[in-house]
Amino acid sequence: MISYVELGKKAIRPENLYKISKALRVSTDYILPGKFTEKYISYIYSKLNTLPPQKIKYIQNIIENCINLETE
């Protein structure tokens, strides 16, 4: 179903979009345009603020590794 939606061959029902967004823990705003909204970035920021410094460093390393994968 998802591939049909991605290819524009089928519309997604709003309730299914909602379920997918909840399962992925992202907003429907992120799923539809494929961009991070300011609200979602604020959500991520608030979650990062709850972590101790050593875990922040771990998250930073993950992000840097992902960026490096994109440039290879």
- Res 9: pLDDT: 85
- Res 57: pLDDT: 92
- Res 72: pLDDT: 61
What is the pLDDT tens value at each position of the chain, 72 positions in all?
778 877 778 888 889 888 988 998 887 877 776 667 787 788 888 989 999 989 999 999 998 988 888 766
User: Model pTM?
Assistant: 0.45
The Cα 22–Cα 32 span in angstroms is 14
The Cα 21–Cα 33 span in angstroms is 13
Domain definitions of the chain by residue range? 1-35, 37-72
